[in-house]
Chains A and B, each alone.
Chain A
Amino acid sequence: MKHLRSIDELGHDGVVRLLELTRHMVEINARPVPKVPALRGKTVVSLFFEDSTRTRLSFETAAKRLSADTMTFSVSTSSVNKGESLRDTIETISDMGVDAFVVRHKSTGTPWQISEWTNASVVNAGDGWHQHPTQALVDCFTVRQALGVERFDGLTLTIVGDIKHSRVARSNISAFSMLGANVVLVAPPTLLPPDVAHWPVTVSHRLDDVLARTDMLYMLRLQSERMSQGHVPSLREYGETFGLDAARVAKLPSTAVIMHPGPMNRGVEMLVDPSALPNSLIHQQVANGVAVRMAVLFDLLAGESSTAHLATVAS
């Protein structure tokens, strides 16, 4: 694998391979000294054109635990502010000798454009509303771990909220479906993309109707600008119709789990304190984020000898 840009490019076998590799990384992270020399001499650049807390930090932590060197590109202090084009920026950094770019950009397709301009690997850390493949891997790994399953056949995974503007939703719909889940989307029609009929999902506009048959409830963040754009009349009304409150938690089966990619909008989509919920996996999602990103960087950069290499890592 040269790049990780979308779940569809990765495919079913790639998803499963990376989830298996993540198990080894979880084991490394549990050691007293959670660091291995697997990527010594490799250089990973974080190129974040958009704000991020957990994704950027977990990629950087992942790179360091594998002993890669890291560079962080900060848009606010870079030549981008002097009008340097994206291509020139990429070519300049590539010239320094870089093995992987971890890219987040508000524009769909940027990782594909960048991979035309560099020989390094490109990892998509979120492009526009399009894809966020490592988040989907984190979420699949977390569901596997929590529900004790490898595949999701027979499970109903319900994604609630702003599907239209969500790269997390697009990646997760692909990944959950690949592993056999029944994916249910819950949103008002204004927050669904124009043509969901071709997606392998069922759609509901009423959250209360689907809770009882949900095995995992995935709450998406609602950005406040959706109100000014007329997608919802008010955040209050959104919270009332699509937010998770105690009454709705009570309607879930007792075995169901709750996830959120963060950052949460408390008081909008989250009307309960998730840390008070025994079935919330939100902390596990963050914890698994480092291991998944270690698996991704290892898979991309350890090269042909990666299987042999893995033996040394896992031992």
Chain B
Amino acid sequence: MTSAERIVLQGGRVVDSRGERVADIAVQGGVVVEVGEQLTSGRTIDASGCVVAPGFVDLHAHLREPGKEEAETIETGSRAGAKGGYTALVAMPNTDPPQDSVAVIDFVREQGKRAGLVEVVPSGCITLGRQGETLAPMAELAAAGVRIFTDDGNGVQDELLMRRAMEYAKGLGVTLAQHCEVATLTKGAVMNECQCCTSLGLPGWPSIAEELMVFRDIELARLTGARVHFLHLSTARSVELVRAAKRDGLPITAEVTPHHLSLDETRLTTFNTVFKVNPPLRSLADIAALRAGIVDGTIDALATDHAPHPRRDKELTLDQAPPGMLGLETALGVALGVLDVSLTQLVRIMSIHPAQIAGIADRHGRDIEPGAPANLVVFDPNAKWQVEPETLASKSRNTPYVGMTLRGKVRHTIFNGDITVLNGEAQR
């Protein structure tokens, strides 16, 4: 499917791990063939005023297929990803059936190829059925190409099982990604435990439910030497724990979501279920700490936790509605709006680091130079746009940014040398 056509991106600011420079980029046969000035011949695409960077990599996307195609399919999720500037999405394993067998892993990957909009990278379950009782066939899944394992949505509660998972993962050279939540502390919880939940009479979701598991897994990683990645951290104390663990040289990485960087707990005072998410929206102090964690490098990656839900599910009561919000198409605009970081740092957290954590750094998040796979994003960091749910490519509409104006818009996305998004429009 790789296009033989030569494409030239003209006049963009090229941003990768080596910094920033203005250059033209020629792409052909799925790879970057030339980087230089005044490149001609082939189909030219204007990138002036735009940033050209390695395509974004999302460590945390719920594509809902198989099992909940009413909310999203691998195709619609891939399209949302491409429109958001992504060339790779790590598909979360809480599908039905879950991604705990080679058959399901292969299905997800193949559906991704069929859609052809991004590379869909299936994660594997840590435990069978994400039940937290028996290890999934991690060696078989690793042999089938899985590099990152998680029970996302559930934290692995049992300490012994988590220790065994880490020991086993170390032997396989794979990464475990933990959803940190001590379940007994969050039973029935709806929103952050805070002043708001006190007045609203909503069962509180204490920060310590996350932090206890962050602490536990840091210490288990110290014991076992396994690589551990923390999903969607949401509290100031979690950031501190990770900062200290990294200082000790432990193989720990961590991500935060755009919504935990931009929205606080008081959004729930309207009882709008779109703001219900796991982990919950936290305090302004937590938001500040998460942002600081990105600035100083404690937090490695921005990950969307893109979680589509059909309208009827979000029209339940606040305690019954499922947690989760869309993220793929708004991540860049939110990140540029709330983070005080250089473009290089932005590309690190949206592309380079997540590609490394997902084990796909041979083909994503690479420096833009001849021979590199042509997975690229072209975005205008200054373009303002209003979020209109009806224009989103996702099958669901549960974006918390309805009507808000974001700054930073993806113009073009190139995946494997093919143009998947041109002038903001998906090409397939």
Chain A interface residues (CB < 8 Å from chain B): 85-87, 105-110, 112-113, 128-131, 165, 167, 170, 193-196, 198-199
Contacts and interface: CB of A to CB of B under 8 A. Distances in A.
Contact of B317 (A109, A129, A165): A109
A272 to B, nearest CB: 29
Contacts of A199: 198-199
A113 B275 CA distance: 14
Contact of B198 (A109, A112, A167, A198): A198
Contacts, number: 69
A109 B200 contact: yes
A108 B271 contact: yes
A49 to B, nearest CB: 9
A86 B197 CA distance: 23
A50 to B, nearest CB: 12
Given A86-B315, A86-B316, A113-B317, A128 B201 contact: yes
29 contacts: A87-B315, A107-B317, A107-B318, A107-B319, A108-B190, A108-B200, A108-B319, A109-B271, A109-B318, A110-B317, A112-B270, A113-B271, A113-B315, A113-B318, A128-B201, A128-B202, A128-B319, A129-B201, A130-B200, A130-B202, A165-B201, A167-B201, A170-B199, A170-B201, A193-B197, A193-B198, A194-B206, A198-B195, A199-B199
Given A86-B316, A112-B270, A113-B271, A194 B201 contact: no
Contacts of B312: 85
Contacts of A108: 190, 200-202, 271, 317-319
Contacts of B270: 112
B280 interface: no
A109 B201 CA distance: 9
B193 interface: yes
If over half of B's interface residues share one DSSP class (helix, strand or loop), that class is named, otherwise mixed; here it is loop
A113 B193 CA distance: 22
Contacts of A112: 270-271
Contacts of B361: none
A105 B317 contact: yes
A86 B200 contact: no
Contacts of A196: 198
Interface in B70-129: none
A196 B198 CA distance: 7
A51 B354 CA distance: 51
B373 interface: no
Contacts of B199: 170, 198-199
A167 B202 CA distance: 11
Contacts of A128: 201-202, 319
Interface of B: 190, 193-195, 197-204, 206, 270-271, 312, 315-320
A194 B198 contact: yes
Contacts of A170: 199, 201
Given A193-B204, A199-B198, 11 more contacts: A85-B315, A87-B315, A105-B317, A107-B318, A108-B200, A108-B271, A109-B271, A110-B317, A194-B198, A198-B198, A198-B199
Nearest to A110: B317
A225 to B, nearest CB: 12
A112 B202 CA distance: 14
A171 to B, nearest CB: 10
B342 to A, nearest CB: 38
A184 B108 CA distance: 59
B262 to A, nearest CB: 22
B194 A195 contact: yes
Nearest to A107: B317
B47 to A, nearest CB: 44
Contacts of A129: 201-203
A200 to B, nearest CB: 12
Minimum-distance CB pairs A-B, first 5: A109-B271, A129-B201, A107-B317, A130-B201, A193-B198
A87 B204 CA distance: 26
A112 B317 CA distance: 10
A107 B317 CA distance: 6
Contacts of B271: 108-110, 112-113
A196 B204 CA distance: 13
Nearest to A169: B201
B317 A86 contact: yes
A152 to B, nearest CB: 21
Most chain A beta carbons < 10 A, residue from B203, B316, B317, B320: B317
B70 to A, nearest CB: 14
B316 A85 contact: yes
Contacts of B320: 107
Contacts of A107: 317-320
Nearest to A173: B199
Nearest to B202: A108
A44 B222 CA distance: 64
Nearest to B206: A194
B23 to A, nearest CB: 51
Contacts of B203: 129
Contacts of B204: 193-194
Contacts of A167: 201
Nearest to B311: A87
A109 B318 CA distance: 7
